Structures are given as structure tokens and as C-alpha cells.
Structure 1
Amino acid sequence: MVSDRSCERKIVAVNAPSLAASGDKLRKIEALLGGSGILALRLTDVLDAHELLLCGLPASALDQLVGRLVVIGKSEFLEKTVGMSLRTWQQRKDNPSKPLSREQSGRLWKFAKILVRATDIFGSQAEAERWLTRPVVGLNQHRPIDLLGTPAGVELVVDHLDRLEHSVCA
């Protein structure tokens, strides 16, 4: 178990050295989740993300991502990707300081990572979200968003994005 003391978030200087391509994706994920202002941490590498997820993302990071969706509806997003009902999300707004669970944090992070990747591939967040909500031949006519509820489904979606990115017939 992570102690409360280890979950105290440190603020890293905003002018931290930039990372290569993986750092660019990390910045995009961070931005989807509200940036360093919401996360109370400037992510410099994936290990920072790991530590943040162990402690639980702030509920406001979920609010930020929900507010940035352009195609996917709130209810569908919450249920399919985070495993939370719309009602539970609305009740959590009464206690915004309570962090998400590790599982919810991990699922939210994974969705943000997939959305960033799909946005890079399809050229816009709106197109990426449309892709997530439509049946895909390479996924046996499953909608990618329907597969994000399990680690095996996430792996299928990520593998399919790999094939698309490398122009392998998908």
C-alpha cells in the first residue's frame, strides 16, 4: 500500500527538459487530464505517471477529460472506459478532493493514452472518437470503446492502432 506521505505531490519546474516523442505523448495525455494544475505534478517521464496512478488521479482529472470529449457521450465514456456510472460520477463531484481508485485511475490513463494515439493517427480528436465508437473490421466488427473494459480488450485496441500506424492491412 502506498503511504499518504508518498502521495504528496511535488511540483516540478515547468521548464523541465523536454522528452523525445514519448515525452510529447506524455504531454498530450497530461493536457487531456487537466495539465499540471489539476495533476499537481508536471510529468517528466512514465515513472512520474506510475507514481501518480498509484496514489489515484484527482477526480477533477476525470472531469477535465469528460469536458474535452467532442463525440463520445459522458455516460458511455464513463461506463465503458472508467467503469463508473453517470450517477456515481455526479455524486463524486460533491467530494472533488477524493482521488479515483487505482483501477479507475489506470483505466482513465489508458483511455487518455489511446485517445492521444488515435488522434495522432486520425488527425483530430473528433475523428479518433468517431473511430472509437464505430464497428471496426479488424476488431471483428467490435467498437473499440466496447473493448476498453478489460485488459485483453485494451490490448486488442492498442494492437489494432499499431497496425494502423504502421500501415499494416487492418
Structure 2
Amino acid sequence: MSETMVGPAELEQAGQMLGGRKVLKHLPATELEAHDLVRRGLPAEALGHLVDALIILKRPEQLEAALGVSIRTFQRRKTDSRPLDPDQSGRAWQFARILARATEVFGSQEAAERWLEMPALALDRRRPIDLLSTHEGLTLVETLLTRLDYGVYT
């Protein structure tokens, strides 16, 4: 399995963080199904569900870093029935996926959120949450999580 492959349990956990079947109607079982879901646009309610489920990452600047959506936009989207656009959907999905992966590695969502906020030596003392805004940064965070999961000292 390559470092960027996502397992079914991780896909399910990411989907649950976004509201599960109640909000998404269908939990993706494959990365292609996740792609299709994001491309169609996640329901705006999914973003609210994700934010409400956070334990530590509650400050506006943390949410903006994690989701790439300003608090003002988030507040507007909470009452909007239109789906998120593919970019917003992608950012929400990727954050949910990274949080699911980190939760698996660290044993709890609280520990995962704390890790996302802490500078990491392997990331040149940058906080993982700050790297989630680009594909390259996301890949670095995924790779680090895989290394930590396999016990590779970083």
C-alpha cells in the first residue's frame, strides 16, 4: 500500500466526521467514490458537523487553517442549502481524512488535534495544520503520519 492510499476504515471515519449517512446519504467505500462525492459537492451541513465535532481546534484561526474557509464564509454556509463547491468540499474532506488518520495513529481525536497544532521536527518545526492548505503540504503530513504509524523516528 502506498503512503497516499486510504483504507476503507479511514474513509468511513472521515465520512462519519462529516455527518455520516444522515448528512452525506452514502459513505464512500473507495477513493473513487470519495472523489465523486467531493466533485458533486458536500452538503453545507457536513462542514458544520465537522466543526461541531472538533474538540480542541475551536479558535477561528485554527478552523481557517484546517479548512481553508474563513469564519465569515463558514457562518454564511451554515444556513445555506446549496452544496459546498468542489474546492470547499475537497478541503473539508481532506481535513476529515487527515484527522481520521491522525486519530488512528494517536489513539484519540483529542490527541490527534493536539498533534496537528504542535510544531513537528520532521516538518522543519512547522505545525501540520498549517500545511494542509496545499497538496504538497498535505502529502508531507500524510507521509509523516505513515512514518509515525510504522514507528519510524522522525
TM-score, normalised on structure 2? 0.91
Q: Does 1:128 align with 2:128?
A: no
CA distance in 1, matches of 2:69, 2:8: 29
Structure showing greater Rg: 1
User: CA distance change for structure 1 residues 91 and 47 in 2, over 3 Å: closer, same or farther?
Assistant: same
TM-score normalized by the length of structure 1: 0.83
Rounded Cα–Cα distance in structure 2 between residues aligned with 1:47 and 1:111: 17
Tell me how large the CA RMSD over aligned residues is. 1.4
User: What residue in structure 2 maps to residue 146 of structure 1?
Assistant: 130
Q: Deviations over 1:138-170 (max 9, x none)?
A: 111100001111111111111111110111111
Q: How far apart in 2 are the matches of 1:92 and 1:109?
A: 16
Residue 105 in 1 paired to residue 89 in 2? yes
Deviations 1:38-91 (A, max 9, x none): 002232322221111111111100000000000111523431122211111111
Kept in 2: contact 1:25–1:116 (CA 8 A): yes
Amino acid at match of 1:51: D
- After superposition, what is the alpha-carbon deviation per residue over 1:63-121, rounded to whole angstroms, capped at 9, x for unaligned? 000000001115234311222111111112231x2111111111111111111111111
Say whether 1:59 aligns with 2:52. no
Q: Matches of residues 42-53 of structure 1 in structure 2 within 5 Å?
A: 42-53=27-38
CA distance in 2: counterparts of 1:107 and 1:91, whole angstroms: 17
Q: State the SS of the aligned residue for 2:83.
A: coil
The equivalent residue for 1:41 is 26
1:169 maps to 2:148: no
Percent sequence identity over aligned pairs: 46
Aligned position for 2:73: 88
Comparing both chains, which one has the higher relative contact order based on Cα–Cα distances under 8 Å and sequence gaps of 6 or more?
2
Give structure 2 stretches of 5+ with no counterpart. Answer: 1-5
How many residues align? The count is 149
Q: Equivalents in 1 of 2:75, 2:55: separation in Å?
A: 19
Once residues 104 and 77 of structure 2 are traced to their aligned partners in structure 1, the CA distance between those partners, rounded to angstroms, is: 32
What is the CA–CA distance in structure 1 between the aligned matches of 2:128 and 2:29, rounded to whole Å?
A: 29
